[in-house]
């Protein structure tokens, strides 16, 4: 019996050592693979979605197609891939040669007229070095403070460094809106894409309301799922006020400020008619700016009809020209993969241990809350 116990302890120690070695080797390998595309702030993660879809399709094909047919299809695909690779190498070679030839000409543009020569050079390049379209897929899941704009700005900077007008950017957008200044910055990031003349398609599967729609209306093509929530072109300011509670309990609250309207509404101070009127004026001004923004970027929309703060599902939104097409992001990406190389681009900030623990706790609380709400809703329909 004692021998078995000692043998068991030996196996446990050996297993512990093996697991530790695997963990260390994995960590080193993972760090090495990320080092090439990481920075002090974070890392860019790029996934070719064409490969992902092909893997899913192949997994099914291997099970449902007979071996003889599968062999023939694989042979034909290998031949097609070989031809495409050959064409790509030829295109790259021609592009490199054209770049070398055009270099001396560009040095002479200051004397001969830069715009005309650059235009001619682009024409030669387009005729001789046409390449397969590239589609870059970004994501934005917005909260009240639009915190994901930090990642979005890095992703857009990265994509704009390589994308050309023949390419396309698809943004998967989900947001119920939030702070005006935060979503104004997020919308300004999308404006960078417009200024670079890169086609922008925005897909909304669940919700793009208020600040979310402020971003969405920048799209060259705005697509939403049939039951996605769209709209809420309005502005709201709300906060609790405990002034009466403090006064009832003889608690003084003082604010010292300079400027007539430095403080209008506050949580503990007295709200005056003058302060309330000033906030109402500010809200109306922001609403007017919001309406003008929508009118500028989606002139087809009758702003006076939709700028009521209401929301509509995708089918209703299309009737009001708030969106261009009814579809899901899944169908849009699958269709894009047929005719283009599709890359999903994500920027991940480096996280400390505290950040990871906080994210795990937040995710746990969110899941628990969703379970409770789901259970309550289920009871309502029983």
Residues annotated as catalytic (active site), given as ranges: 210, 262
What whole-number distance in Å separates Cα of residue 141 and Cα of residue 144? 10
42-48, strands of its sheet edge to edge = 42-48, 341-349, 134-141, 168-174, 200-204, 221-224, 325-326
Task: Show the tokens assigned to 167.
Answer: 């390419």
Compute the distance between CA of residue 316 and CA of residue 152 in angstroms, rounded to an integer. Answer: 29
Classify residue 299 by burial, with Cβ atoms within 10 Å: 0-12, 13-18, 19+: exposed
Burial of 191: CB neighbours in 10 Å, binned 0-12, 13-18, 19+: middle
Determine the Cα–Cα distance for residues 165 and 126; give it in Å rounded to an integer. Answer: 12
What DSSP line would sit under 109-136, residue for residue? HHHH-HHHHHHHHHHHHHHH-----EEE
> Cα 17 to the chain's mean position, in Å?
42
Place of tokens 């390049």: 125
């Amino acid at each position: 019996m004692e021998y078995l116990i000692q043998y068991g302890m030996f196996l446990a120690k050996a297993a512990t050592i093996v697991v530790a070695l695997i963990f260390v080797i994995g960590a080193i390998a993972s760090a090495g693979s990320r080092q090439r595309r990481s920075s002090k702030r974070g890392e860019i993660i790029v996934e070719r979605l064409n490969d992902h879809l092909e893997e899913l399709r192949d997994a099914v094909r291997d099970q449902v197609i007979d071996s003889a047919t599968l062999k023939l299809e694989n042979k034909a695909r290998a031949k097609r891939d070989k031809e495409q690779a050959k064409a790509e190498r030829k295109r790259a070679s021609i592009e490199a040669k054209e770049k070398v030839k055009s270099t001396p000409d560009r040095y002479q543009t200051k004397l001969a007229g830069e715009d005309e020569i650059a235009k001619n050079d682009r024409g030669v390049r387009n005729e001789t070095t046409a390449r397969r379209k590239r589609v870059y897929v970004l994501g934005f899941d917005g909260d009240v403070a639009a915190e994901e704009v930090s990642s979005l700005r890095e992703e857009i900077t990265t994509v704009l460094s390589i994308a050309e007008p023949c390419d396309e950017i698809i943004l998967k957008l989900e947001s119920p809106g939030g702070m005006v200044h935060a979503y104004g910055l997020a919308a300004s990031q999308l404006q960078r894409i417009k200024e670079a003349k890169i086609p922008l398609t925005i897909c909304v599967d669940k919700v793009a309301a208020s600040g979310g729609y402020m971003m969405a209306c920048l799209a060259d093509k705005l697509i939403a799922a049939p039951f996605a929530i769209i709209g809420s072109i309005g502005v709201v300011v709300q906060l609790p006020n405990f002034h009466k509670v403090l006064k009832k309990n003889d608690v003084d609250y003082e604010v010292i400020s300079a400027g007539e309207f430095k403080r209008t509404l506050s949580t503990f101070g007295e709200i005056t008619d003058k302060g309330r009127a000033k906030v109402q004026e500010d809200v109306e001004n922001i609403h007017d700016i919001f309406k003008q923004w929508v009118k500028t970027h989606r002139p087809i929309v009758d702003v006076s009809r939709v700028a009521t703060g209401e929301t509509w599902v995708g089918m209703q939104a299309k009737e009001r020209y708030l969106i261009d097409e009814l579809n899901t992001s899944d169908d849009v990406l699958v269709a894009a993969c047929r005719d283009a190389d599709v890359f999903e681009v994500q920027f991940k900030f480096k996280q400390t241990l505290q950040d990871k623990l906080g994210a795990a706790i937040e995710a746990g609380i969110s899941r628990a809350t969703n379970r409770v709400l789901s259970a309550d809703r289920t009871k309502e329909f029983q």
